[in-house]
Structure formats: structure tokens, C-alpha cells
Amino acid sequence: MIDGRRNLDAYLAAYELMGPDRLDVFDDVCDPDVRFVDPFNDLHGLERFKDVYRHMYATLENPRFTILDRAAGDMAGYIRWRFDFGLRGRAMTIDGMSEVVFGPDGRVVAHIDHWDAGSQVYARVPVLGALIRWVRGRLAV
């Protein structure tokens, strides 16, 4: 039987230990064909999964996740998080949720991030942001 709480704890422990040179922490908790989905990516495989974090450490300043809350079911875990980082000297924050699905052996087979790229990223781009704010204003009640 799958122990979702134990599996989620192990996965979150890997996040606490990870660093630019410590992505091997995912080797034991993720399936070799793990799927990762966020607003920018939809990829399969442990090395591609690690590539997301390699890219994060290479392009962002002081990236860090803070776990705000979590819940575990039998087959999946849910994580509410805050991601703080710097980009070209500017501090930024993204709030989101992750759905983490466990395989029969308890390893993560899917990590699906849910967060609003429109308001938390695109709206901060100078010209694009103005357009998004205008559209949002036109659609608001």
C-alpha cells in the first residue's frame, strides 16, 4: 500500500536538500520517467526534470521555495508554496500549488505545478504587462 504522507515527506526533504550541485537528491524519490508540468514546461524523464532546476539555478538569483502548507492522500500529495528569487537585481515572488502523484513504489511519477503565469510573470513585463492589465480591467466585473 502506498503511504502518501511518508512519500510526500521524502519528496519535500529532497527539496530542502537540493542545490545547484545537489540535484541527485531526486534520484531516490522520483521515477526515472517522472513527468514535470508547469506553465512553461511539459517534459518527461528524471534528467529533464533536473534540467528545470539546473536552469533555475543558472538564471535566477538566490532562488528558494518556502512550503506554506501540504496535504497527502493515498496516491498524491498537494503542496502550497512560495517561490522567491531575484531576476536582474529585482526581487520577485510566485505563489503556487503543486500536485505530486506517486507510483506503486511510492516514487513521484508526476509533478504538476499550478500557478498564474499571467499575473505573476507576464504582467511584470513592461509592454506586455500594460496590455494584460488593460485586458484584465476590461474583463473585470
Give the integer Cα–Cα distance in Å for 79 and 61. 23
Q: In this predicted model, what pLDDT tens digit does every residue of 87-139 receive, in sequence order?
A: 888 899 999 999 999 999 999 999 999 987 666 565 566 666 677 677 777 77
CA 98 vs CA 66, 131, 136: distances in Å: 12, 28, 25
CA 57 vs CA 23, 35, 80, 128: distances in Å: 11, 20, 21, 25
**Which of 136, 140, 138 has the alpha carbon at shortest distance from 119?**
136
Considering the four listed CATH numbers 1.10.10.10, 3.40.50.10140, 3.10.450.50, 3.30.830.10, the one that applies to the domain covering 4-115 is: 3.10.450.50
Q: How confident is the model at residue 141 (pLDDT cuts 50, 70, 90)?
A: confident
Do 111 and 88 meet the contact criterion of CB atoms below 8 Å apart? no
Of 7-11, 18-22, 106-110, 137-141, which range is least confident?
137-141
Q: In this predicted model, what pLDDT tens digit does every residue of 43-101 receive, in sequence order?
A: 999 999 999 999 999 999 999 999 999 999 989 999 999 999 998 888 999 999 999 99
Predicted TM-score of the model (pTM): 0.85
Going across the sheet that includes 61-72, the strands are 42-44, 30-37, 108-114, 90-102, 76-87, 61-72
